[in-house]
Structure 1
C-alpha cells in the first residue's frame, strides 16, 4: 500500500469518526431538556413516532426496527411505557398476529410537549451551524447507509415475539398519572440535581472522547445476536 493510499485511508477514518462524534455530542445536548422532564431518549423516539402516525398507533415490530432494537429489548421498553400510562397495546383489527402500540391521552400530551422541546433545541443548537438544506442532505446520506445495513442488522423480526400484556403498575416507578398535564411536576431541587448530573455526564463523555486515542481500523464486523427478535 502506498503512502498516499494510507493517508487517504486515515483521512476517511478521521472523517467518519468526526461525523459520529459530532452527531453524538449534538444529540446529547439537544436531549437534555427532554431528559429533564423525565423522558428517556428511547421513550422520546417512540413518542414522536407514534405522534406522527395515523391514529397515533404503529405495529410493535415497526417501532422496534425504527429504534434498531430486538423484539425482547423493545418489549421491555414498551412494558415501562405501558406501566407509565403512555401507551396501550392491542391486537390489530385486521390481523390478530399484529400487535400495535397506541398513544394514550396522557402519552399524546407528553409527546406533544417533548417534540416541542426538541424543536426548540434544534433551533438553539443545530440551525445556527447548519442550514435545513444541509441537514436534509446529511439525512439522505445517512438513510442510504442505514438502508444498506438494514438486512444485516434487522432480520427475522416478526409479531410473534410481542405480547399484549396487562401489567399492573409498578409502585416504585414515578407516577405520571397525577398532577398537571397528567404528570407530577418536578421540584426545583429535582430539576437542579438532574440538570447537574446530565451536564456532568456530558462533560465526562466529551473529556473521555478527547483523551482517547484513535482506534486502529478493523475489518471485523460487529457480531449480532443469532436469535434476534426472541424475548430476552
Structure 2
C-alpha cells in the first residue's frame, strides 16, 4: 500500500516508499560514519572531522587552504571548523598563517606532525570504507552508485566519478 505524505498545504507529496529510501540513505551514511569515527578514535585518538581536515590540507598545494575554502570542503560550519582548527593547532597538527594578500584572511596549514598522524590513520580509514561500503557492493552496484551520485551532485568542473 502506498501512503502519500505531504508537507503542509503547499508541500510536495512524497510516497511512503520514497520517504523510506531517503531514510535508508540517511541511516546508511550515519552508520558508516559512526564506524569510521569509532575506529579512528580508538586506534588513533583522531575524530573523523579531524581526519577530514587533515586529508583536505594534505591534498592541497603547499598543504594549505584558506579557512573559508576549507570550510566549504568539510562538513562543518565555519564556527565549528574554527573550534576544530583550535584543537588541531593545540595538538601540533595544524598551524594558522596570515594570508599575505588579505589581512583578514587566514590559512590552515598541515604541519609535519599532522602529516605523520594522517599517514598513520589513513590505513584505518581506508579499511573502514572497504569493510562498510566497498566490500558490500559488487562492481555493477558501485557503478550504479557512482552514476546516481554524479546525477545528485555533479562536479562543478563537469568531471564525473568514474563508474
Normalising by the residue count of structure 1, what TM-score does the alignment of the two structures yield? 0.55
Q: In the TM superposition, what are the counterparts of 1:106-145 in structure 2 within 5 Å?
A: 106-130=113-137, 131=139, 132-144=142-154
CA deviation profile, 1:176-218 (whole Å, cap 9, x unmatched): xxxxxxxxxxxxxxxxxxxxxxxxxxxxxxxxxxxxxxxxxxx
Corresponding residue to 2:28 among 22, 26, 29 = 22
Distance 2:75 2:16 in 1: 29
Aligned to 1:201: none
Structure 2 CA distance for aligned equivalents of residues 138 and 116 of structure 1: 27
- Secondary structure at 1:96 match in 2: strand
1:104-134 residue CA offsets vs partner (Å, 9 max, x unmatched): 1000111122222211222223222124434
User: For residues 87 and 127 of structure 1, what CA distance do their matches in structure 2 show?
Assistant: 31
Residue aligned with 1:98, SS:
strand
Computing the radius of gyration from Cα coordinates, the structure with the larger value is 1
Of 85, 88, 92, the residue aligned with 1:78 is: 85
How far is the alpha carbon of 1:78 from its aligned partner? 0.7
Using the TM superposition, give the Cα deviation of residue 75 of structure 1 relative to its aligned residue in structure 2, in angstroms.
Answer: 1.2
The list of structure 1 runs, each at least 4 consecutive aligned residues, that deviate by more than 6 angstroms after superposition, is: none
Task: Show structure 1 runs of 5+ residues with no match.
Answer: 148-232
Structure-2 residue corresponding to 1:170:
none
Q: CA RMSD in A?
A: 2.5
- Indicate if the aligned counterparts of 1:51 and 1:112 stay in contact, CA closer than 8 A: no
Distance in 2, matches of 1:68 and 1:121, equals: 19
**2:109 matched residue in structure 1:** 102
Distance across 2 between alignment mates of 1:141 and 1:29: 27
Q: What SS does the aligned partner of 1:97 have?
A: strand
State how far apart, in whole Å, the 1-side matches of 2:118 and 2:109 are. 12
CA-to-partner distance for each residue in 1:142-191, whole Å, 9 max, x for gaps? Answer: 525xx9xxxxxxxxxxxxxxxxxxxxxxxxxxxxxxxxxxxxxxxxxxxx
Q: Which has the higher strand share?
A: 2
The offset of 1:55, in angstroms, is 1.1
Distance 1:25 1:54 in 2: 32
| Structure 2 unaligned spans of 5+ | 6-13, 157-163
Q: Normalising by structure 2, what TM-score?
A: 0.76
> Matched residue of 2:95: which SS?
strand
Structure 2 distance, partners of 1:73, 1:27, is 18
Residues 113 and 140 (structure 1 numbering): CA distance in 2 closer, same or farther, change over 3 Å?
A: farther
Q: Secondary structure at the match of 2:97?
A: strand
Q: Would the aligned equivalents of 2:2 and 2:17 in 1 still touch at CA under 8 Å?
A: no
* Alpha-carbon shift at residue 136 of structure 1 (Å): 2.6
